[in-house]
Structure 1
Amino acid sequence: MRVDFTKMHGLGNDFVVIDHRAHESVAIDRALAAALADRHTGIGCDQLIVLEAARDEDEDADFRMRIWNVDGGEVEACGNASRAVALFHGAQARVATAGGIIAVTPERGGAAVAMGKPRFGWEDIPLDYAMDSSALPLSWGPLEQPFAVNVGNPHVVFFVDDIEAVDLATLGPEIEHDPVFPEGINVGIASVEARDYISLRVWERGAGLTRACGTGACAALVAAAERGLTERTATVNLPGGRLTISYGEDGAIVMRGPAVESFRGSFDPSAFGAA
């Protein structure tokens, strides 16, 4: 038996998409997800995306999206993957994720994704103990007082003058695994270039440095707007390209950006140790 997949990406953040909405062709676990994501011996991707039929508790969702990082860990949300799924599905849809319901709309060259509303409570991030999430009284080397927010998954955003001057490859994993973040954390380094333009690099929980992070872009805009550094709509420039993020007066976040199908293929699960 072979399993069909579609390889996709959003600004270079790449995914293997498997459609299990009609039937499950192979059981996905941590080991198989990591094996498929391996760029040397697998298909290669930042995240494995599996589409499933909606569950009874999915609040009228059309289907469910599950996400595994390159390390095999399952996570709550992925903004770039959401745009890829919009392109894959080809129509408006309400999509259930572990981080909540999102709404996807294909657009020319990409998609718009209604990401829901951010959460700021220390227990929603979550943090190990209560503190002001708008300026955590913490520091790691030259980085200090980040803004913490949950936009479907947890992020801290540090504002700096020059994002390229930060050794994110060293500081990223240190921050990600700090015990103050019991479920780990995504780490953003942002520079506000103008009231409507942010430059951003992200160390992604379970994946490392990425060319783009959609939820990271949402977190950066929310943090900047809440601190009064930007307007509520801005372009976020990442190494892989640009996203447009809007943070409405009602608190709703909308992300717009490109998505691309790269190729389609199939694999034999037994080649990766699956039964």
Structure 2
Amino acid sequence: MHFSKMHGAGNDFIVLDLRDGNPPPLPPVCSRLADRHFGVGCDQILTVEAPRSAGAVAAYRIWNADGSASGQCGNGARCIAAWLVRDGAAPTDGAFAIESPAGVHPVTRDGEGGFVIDMGAPRFAPADVPLAGVDDERDDYALQIDGETLHFGAVSLGNPHAVIEVADVDAAEVARIGSLLQASATFPQSVNVGFAQVLAPEHIRLRVFERGVGETLACGSGACAAVAVLARRGRVLADADVGVQLPGGSLRIRHDTAADTLFMGGPAAFVFEGIMVI
């Protein structure tokens, strides 16, 4: 099995070319590929596939380290864009579109060698996240778990996100609280849990505990979710670039309120090429 190893701000991926119609790897194969001791090692596996919609140069799907499917991956989208440019399937300069399970995403180059992805509209309705047993859309939800009250915002970017604002992201109990929310029946599809510290209206720090993976060095859709939730509360700027500092690097997120879409900019890097015998 030939693969490309890539990362976006430390969020790392194995990219497989399945445009010939081969099926995606089964969960045991995903687990073996993702294993950092006995396999290649990654947060997610990305499969490049033939486009399903007119206008897209290719489609891609996302598989977590445990083999479960994901609806969106922002850092992965930039890596797919870079992979397609290197492959010759997408133009070196100019705009093109790629297709995730969540929809079609226009892509442009930025001035720093990276890519800007149109991530689409944030969806706040409880049914869209989804949140079970919640009828009214709110900026802040409170959930009683194990004798404590957890406050969070919730949004879908094609995958579910909970965003918790904290005073100090370094001191946040990321694994404990992330696991509690992921196991809660309130999130029937589980959830990616972001812990955001606002440093300034145009600058935040963020850690994300991803479903099916655990804490990652970066999460592109999580960065978009954090900015969407915090901008709605007036905690960060809308219609302006907000720098999101993650453990593995920084991303630029802008919520264009007129178009109701989120733009995510950042790097995409090739690490190595390889062949793994399965």
TM-score in same-fold range (> 0.5): yes
Q: What CA distance in whole angstroms lies between the structure 1 residues aligned with 2:276 and 2:22?
A: 11
**Could you tell me the percent identity over the aligned residues?**
40
Q: Which residue of 1 aligns with 2:274?
A: 265
- What SS does the aligned partner of 1:218 have? helix
CA 1:26–1:248 in 2, change beyond 3 Å: closer, same or farther?
closer
- What SS does the aligned partner of 2:67 have? coil
Q: What CA distance in whole angstroms lies between the structure 1 residues aligned with 2:24 and 2:119?
A: 28
Q: Which residue of 2 aligns with 1:61?
A: 56
Amino acid at match of 2:60: M
Give the Å deviation of 1:69: 0.5
Of 6, 9, 31 in structure 2, the residue corresponding to residue 8 of structure 1 is 6
Give the Å deviation of 1:137: 2.6
Q: Which residue of 1 aligns with 2:100?
A: 97
Q: Which residue of 2 aligns with 1:154?
A: 160
Q: What CA distance in whole angstroms lies between the structure 2 residues aligned with 1:53 and 1:197?
A: 38
Q: Which residue of 1 aligns with 2:67?
A: 72
Amino acid at match of 1:14: D
| Mean Cα deviation higher: 30-39 or 176-185 | 30-39
Provide the TM-score with structure 2 as the length reference: 0.90
Q: What CA distance in whole angstroms lies between the structure 2 residues aligned with 1:225 and 1:45?
A: 31
Give the gaps of 5 or more residues in structure 2: 86-90
Q: What CA distance in whole angstroms lies between the structure 1 residues aligned with 2:174 and 2:24?
A: 35
Q: What CA distance in whole angstroms lies between the structure 2 residues aligned with 1:134 and 1:35?
A: 40
Give the Å deviation of 1:224: 0.8
Give the Å deviation of 1:142: 6.6
Give the Å deviation of 1:27: 4.4
Answer whether contact 1:47 1:68 (CA < 8 A) is retained. yes
Q: What CA distance in whole angstroms lies between the structure 1 residues aligned with 2:270 and 2:236?
A: 33
Q: Which residue of 2 aligns with 1:46?
A: 43
Q: What CA distance in whole angstroms lies between the structure 1 residues aligned with 2:165 and 2:201?
A: 14
Give the Å deviation of 1:133: 3.9
Q: Which residue of 2 aligns with 1:236?
A: 244
Give the Å deviation of 1:267: 2.0
* Deviation digits for residues 172-214 of structure 1 (CA, Å, limit 9, x no counterpart): 1111121100000000111111010011111011110110000
Give the Å deviation of 1:150: 0.4
Give the Å deviation of 1:34: 1.6
Q: Which residue of 2 aligns with 1:29?
A: 26
Q: Which residue of 1 aligns with 2:113?
A: 109
How do 1:190-209 and structure 2 match up within 5 A? 190-209=196-215
Answer whether contact 2:161 2:192 (CA < 8 A) is retained. yes
Give the Å deviation of 1:265: 1.1
Q: What is the CA RMSD across the aligned residues, in angstroms? A: 1.6
Amino acid at match of 1:122: P
Answer whether contact 1:133 1:149 (CA < 8 A) is retained. no
Amino acid at match of 1:98: P
Q: Which residue of 2 aligns with 1:127?
A: 131
Give the Å deviation of 1:59: 4.7
Amino acid at match of 2:187: F
Give the Å deviation of 1:4: 1.7
Give the Å deviation of 1:16: 0.5
State yes or no: 1:246 paired with 2:254: yes
State yes or no: 1:86 paired with 2:87: no
Q: What CA distance in whole angstroms lies between the structure 1 residues aligned with 2:221 and 2:55?
A: 23
Q: Which runs of 4+ in 1 moved over 4 A?
A: 139-143
Give the Å deviation of 1:149: 0.3
Q: What CA distance in whole angstroms lies between the structure 2 residues aligned with 1:45 and 1:128?
A: 31
Answer whether contact 1:10 1:260 (CA < 8 A) is retained. yes
Give the Å deviation of 1:136: 1.1
Give the Å deviation of 1:62: 2.1
Answer whether contact 1:87 1:106 (CA < 8 A) is retained. no
